[in-house]
Amino acid sequence: MIKSPQKVGMMHMAFLFNWAEVEPDEYAMTTTDGSIVDLGERNYLRIDGEGDESSAEFMRDAAILLTLGKFLSTAPTHGIPIATFRKFVHYPLMVNWYGTLHDDHERYQMRMKQPNFMPADAVIAAINQLRESMPMIGDVTYERFKEGLEAQVSQIGLVTPALVEKLQMFIGNSPFVIDHGDDWHRELYLNDVTALPRSQWQIILRQQISVADPVAARNYPIVIN
């Protein structure tokens, strides 16, 4: 039976894409002992700022991306048509912190991944609709970004020296080494940092790595997405 375009559109809206269920290994809070991911180029919302996790600018930017992400996850209901739209749960925040794992947090690039079907004109339309109530949303850009090969470890609560040490030990016991050519490390915040105390934040800490032992690395488990 051939489905009518209207029925196909309704099916697209009904399907709920949830990153926590479809991509669990990339966003795993169970990776307490460490894991390796290799993440290709994807679409991201981005806003840059200065300050640490407690700063007003960080919280403002987090609220901006979370608001925009939620808005885009139901874009057609706001009069923004997207040809291949699938209803989805907005992705978590991913923050590039400038400096090594040991440096204080002072400067960041905050991103939120978007589905492949999300066109730039839909993002622009959403920003324009939200601009009056949230003027700083005009600072958001839309880009393609590649994380690459990374080691990751998770924890509830802010990143601690003990978590950094755990990640470094995990890398040291693997066929990989920290890529010191990368001036950033990354933290993902899987729940709403604007609504919860920092002691309850679900965090994944990531560090870019490179291959040290090509033979051993070929047989090492890597999550590719």
pTM for the full predicted model:
0.91
Mean pLDDT confidence for 40-58 = 97
Residue 7 — very low, low, confident or very high, per pLDDT cuts 50/70/90? very low
Confidence of residue 15 (pLDDT cuts 50, 70, 90): low
Give me the sign of the Cα torsion angle 40, 98, 31, 28.
negative
pLDDT for the residue numbered 2: 35
Residue 175 near residue 163 (C-beta atoms within 8 A)? no
pLDDT of residue 17: 87
Question: Which candidate, 145, 215, 127, places its Cα nearest to that of 186?
Answer: 145
How many residues can be counted in the chain? 225
Domain regions of the chain by residue span? 5-224
Residue 160 is given by DSSP the state -
Find out whether 24 and 119 touch, Cβ atoms under 8 Å: no
Give, in degrees to the nearest 5, the angle at Cα 99 between 140 and 31. 85
Which superfamily does 5-224 belong to? Regulatory factor, effector binding domain (3.20.80.10)
